Amino acid sequence: KVPFTMKIDTPEFRGIFSPGLQTLLDIFERHKYEIRVAGGAVRDILLGKHPKDVDFATTATPDQMKEMFTEEDVRMINMKGEKHGTITARIDNENFEVTTLRIDVTTDGRHAEVMFTTDWELDANRRDLTINSMFLGVDGTLYDYFGGYEDLKNRQVLFVGNAKKRIQEDYLRILRYFRFFGRITEKPEFHDEDTIVAIKDNVEGLGRISGERIWQELSKISSGNYVGSIIQKITEVGAAPYIGLPKDPNINELKCVWERGKNLNMHPLTVLVSLLNSQQEMMTFHARCKFSTFERELGLFIVEHRNTDCKSDNPLRPYQILIFKTDGKLSDTRAHIIELLKYKADLALLHEFKTWEPPKFPLNGNLLKEHGVPVGKPIGRVMKELKLHWIETDFKMTQDELIELLPKVMEELNIKTQSMN
């Protein structure tokens, strides 16, 4: 099959040629191996974007690359990728990932066993989407075996070859499809029908994918465009139960939250927690996606506090109080409140809260001990109670005033003073 070819000469293409890359290309040329830019970087260059990562493909095997780089005195790092055919060369403080052309021999719906080849078309044929299956020669020649260039021009996201087969090789491709759809399309309601049928027929395969990989894709989706209609489509194809979301998630709330907050750089979870109606649903989502502690606490925090009404003279006050009433790291609670205000899209309050410096509580454990509070649990209980009094006076109570309250507080908590001898 003869690929469609054309010449590319754009600032984005020229921009990838650092001195380090030039050195790498010279080495490949000296040793007579072909090397091309592959995959996502080609797509980005064609879209007029500067690619974040540039991956390369080559006809050289990993052993040939190792021999060549050793001979040329080039350092190789991170040898974990070698069994998949990837060698990472370090030149001029830059890392270059070069992968041998390969075909997938067996797949289990999650990972592939590979065999090396020198045939560019076979390598393009194992990639997921047509827009990700193109190569770009170092002279600027585009090689396109599967119509990716046309699809990109038409803003269309299609699988390479048979969609069903592609999805069954790695079920995560269902979410990758939606992620790239959000990036590429200009008509968010217009999906290719055959593709959607193939996704529907294979959606339960997502249940076999690890939570970490699911979350990686979901967070990229929720940082993209058209999040509302994409998550709606993900729900329509029946994916929700397999990715930890409720069967009928709150799409309207998501659309509101995303629409009003899309320029606020929300955490992906701040966006997606809008789909959930309860802390129970948040914990189900967490059980599936294996969030970090920060993320899990963030989700629970927003679900708990998103309906707090702030019709007081000082709308900042409930949030100031939350800072001191919430257990956990102060910096985390602060970040959680900032996300909560983004969720509500309360810009004035967001700005005010960001610039507010939480005052320091004037007491500490040692001081309380000196005043006869028994060590251990009682100190924590007394401290909590005094903090509430301090908060109620708008953080104005001084150390002395708080100490004066101490006997009353201890009496209320039924704590006996410890004599200091």
Q: Are residues 73 and 118 in the same domain?
A: yes
Angle at 266 between CA 264 and CA 267, to 5 degrees: 160
Q: What CATH number is attached to the domain comprising 196? A: 1.10.3090.10
Amino acid at 145: Y
Report the run of H or E that residue 233 belongs to, with start and end: helix 227-236
The verdict on residue 297 lying in a domain is no
298 within a domain of the structure (yes/no): no
> Which residue range(s) make up the domain with 110?
1-154
Query: Which two tokens mark 169?
Result: 């090789």
Query: 17 and 86: one domain?
Result: yes
- Looking at the fold, whether 9 and 149 belong to one and the same domain comes out as yes
Same-domain pairing of 147 and 37: yes
Phi, psi of 120 (to 5 degrees): -60, -35
What is the count of structural domains for the chain? 3
The CATH number for 123's domain is: 3.30.460.10
| b/e code 143-160 from CB counts within 10 Å (16+ = b) | bbbbbbbebbeeebbbbb
Chain-centroid distance, C-alpha 289: 12
Q: Same domain, yes or no, for 98 and 115?
A: yes
Same domain, 233 and 206: yes
Residues 21 and 89 in one domain: yes
Q: To which H or E segment does residue 351 belong?
A: helix 347-355
Q: Is the dihedral of CA 320, 324, 330, 333 positive or negative?
A: negative
Secondary structure (3-state) at 160: coil
Claim to verify: residue 4 and residue 142 sit in the same structural domain = yes
- Identify the bridge partners of residue 4 per DSSP, sorted by sequence position: 144
d(CA 390, CA 411): 18
| Domain stops at, among 210, 227, 244 | 244
What is the reported pTM?
Answer: 0.89
| Domain co-membership, 7 together with 113 | yes
* Tens of each residue's pLDDT in the chain, 421 residues: 899 999 999 999 999 999 999 999 999 999 999 999 999 999 999 999 999 999 999 999 999 999 999 999 999 998 888 988 999 999 999 999 999 999 988 878 777 888 999 999 999 999 999 999 999 999 999 999 999 999 999 999 999 999 999 999 999 999 999 999 999 999 999 999 999 999 999 999 999 999 999 999 999 999 999 999 999 999 999 999 999 999 889 999 999 999 999 999 999 999 999 999 999 999 999 999 999 999 999 999 999 999 977 667 788 888 988 888 877 788 899 999 999 999 999 999 999 999 999 899 999 989 999 998 888 888 888 998 999 899 888 899 999 999 999 999 998 888 887 765 4
